[in-house]
């Protein structure tokens, strides 16, 4: 299990690449998310200190943008489009199949940190609906029957 203490060196490394200008907040958060996989509380505190701003300002940015997470994410991030085209073409059934296969609801991460499942408003790939993004791979025209095959490919 990871604790926030183990991320101090990664936080230091990211902050050392930035001068402390307040305009660097989002790039710093993006690097922290990339390096650690989420934004731990310690990173919020240290980033605020580095930039000379309130922790609440950093927290506000982290919680505003969907690209940032406050909790550790799974090794495999699965996102299911919930836009109108995907919804009409069966995104709800796709989510149910994923829930059955990996055992979590959208917004959760498995206890073993293998998977995180998210709903996304729209990927902008409406012609391919329903669309599922697994890590960086787009899977279009998804059906519940294809879920287990795609999950098996991850192992």
- Give pLDDT tens digits for 114-134: 999 999 999 899 999 999 999
Q: Structural domains in the chain? A: 4-64 (1.10.10), 76-154 (3.40.30.10)
For the chain, strand residue ranges (E) read 76-81, 115-120, 132-134, 137-139
Do the beta carbons of residue 75 and residue 116 sit within 8 Å?
no
Q: What is the pLDDT of residues 60-118, one digit of tens each?
A: 999 999 889 999 999 999 999 999 999 999 999 999 999 999 999 999 999 999 999 99
Query: In whole angstroms, what is the distance from residue 44 CA to residue 39 CA?
Result: 7
Cα–Cα distance measured from residue 151 to residue 115, given in angstroms and rounded to the nearest whole number: 10
Distances (CA, A) of 77 to 17, 69, 113: 27, 12, 10
For residue 36, the surrounding DSSP H or E stretch is helix 25-36
For residue 66, the model assigns a pLDDT of 85
Longest dimension (CA), the chain: 51
Average pLDDT, the chain: 94
Reported pTM? 0.80
And the tokens for 71?
């909790």
Q: Give the relative orientation of helices 41-51 and 8-16 as an angle to the nearest 10 degrees.
A: 30
- pLDDT of residue 1 exceeding 50, the answer is no
Number of H helices, E strands in the chain: 7, 4
């Amino acid at each position: 299990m990871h604790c926030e203490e183990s991320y101090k060196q990664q936080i230091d490394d990211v902050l050392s690449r930035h001068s402390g200008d307040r305009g660097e907040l989002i790039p710093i958060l993006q690097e922290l998310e990339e390096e650690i996989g989420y934004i731990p509380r310690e990173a919020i505190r240290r980033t605020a200190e580095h930039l000379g701003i309130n922790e609440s300002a950093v927290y506000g940015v982290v919680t505003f943008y969907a690209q940032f997470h406050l909790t550790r994410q799974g090794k495999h991030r699965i996102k299911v489009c919930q836009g109108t085209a995907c919804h009409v073409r069966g995104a709800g059934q796709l989510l149910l199949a994923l829930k059955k296969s990996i055992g979590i609801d959208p917004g959760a991460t498995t206890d073993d940190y293998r998977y995180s499942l998210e709903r996304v408003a729209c990927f902008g790939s409406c012609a391919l609906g329903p669309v599922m993004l697994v890590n960086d791979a787009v899977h279009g025209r998804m059906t519940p029957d294809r879920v287990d095959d795609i999950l098996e490919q991850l192992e």
